[in-house]
Amino acid sequence: MSISRFLASKSQGQDRFEYLQTLVTEFQDTDSQDSKEQILANLANFAYDPANYQYLRQLQVIDLFLDMLTEENETFIEFGIGGLCNLCLDKENKEYILQNNGVQAVMNCLSSSHEDTVLSAITTLMYLMSPASREAITGLPVVECMLRFSISNHRRLSNLATLFLEDYCSAEQVARARDLQNHTALGIPLPKGEADEILDSSHHSES
């Protein structure tokens, strides 16, 4: 059953669950990387719809998305973080992600070479903010990374990083991160292209 046919149908409940279960089973059974990527893309799209949350939890799709964040295949990572981003505003889903070390896994995606992956990671960190997770999400490594992203030539990335800094970080945190930038090269590694662009920007500003 195709995605378009499923979405066009009026079937709900058990039919919806069985269709999602079929996708998960196909992902587990196939050896084709292309097929796995397509299935992940479909699951990430279904994660937009709150009507699917119960079934996605039953089928352990949140775990699947989290597992994808440690894969070497960048497309797996992109769809994994995209799926988490789509469903983590739900309170139950959010708590599950937080309880399963999701913050660190999402933070690791900030070094991806895929801009969409980085954008989803930043957005997901915003959605995962809670009294318990705030310290980790707004820790120095993340704030310093957002400072670097905020001067990126990629507008969507710079705008989202700036929003993160303005809405979730205190002036003191930003000041400490700037001080870290001035005294050490440590922190979350930027993707190669971003690092080169920011280095070029720094050189231009100094000249």
Centre a 10 Å sphere on the Cβ of residue 100 and count the other Cβ atoms it contains: 12
- The band of 181, judged by pLDDT with boundaries at 50, 70 and 90, is confident
Query: Contact 142/157 with Cβ under 8 angstroms?
Result: no
pLDDT at 177 over 70: yes
**Is the model more confident about 3 or about 125?**
125
pLDDT at 180: 83
Q: Is the pLDDT of residue 192 over 70?
A: no
Per-residue pLDDT reduced to its tens digit, 32-50: 999 999 999 999 999 999 9
- CA 109 – CA 89 distance, rounded (Å): 19
Same domain, 79 and 34: yes
Shared domain for 121 and 161, answered yes or no, is no
Q: Quickly count: other Cβ atoms within 10 Å of residue 156's Cβ.
A: 13
State the sign of the Cα–Cα–Cα–Cα dihedral 192, 194, 198, 200. Answer: positive
Q: Which of 131, 161, 177 is the last residue of a domain?
A: 131
What is the reported pTM? 0.85
Could you tell me if 16 and 100 lie in one domain? yes
Please tell me the predicted confidence (pLDDT) of residue 29: 97
Q: Are residues 166 and 114 in the same domain?
A: no
**Residue range(s) defining the domain that contains residue 2:** 1-131
Q: Are residues 144 and 49 in the same domain?
A: no
Q: Specify whether the CB–CB gap between 120 and 159 falls below 8 A.
A: no
Task: Answer with the residue of higher pLDDT: 154 or 205.
Answer: 154
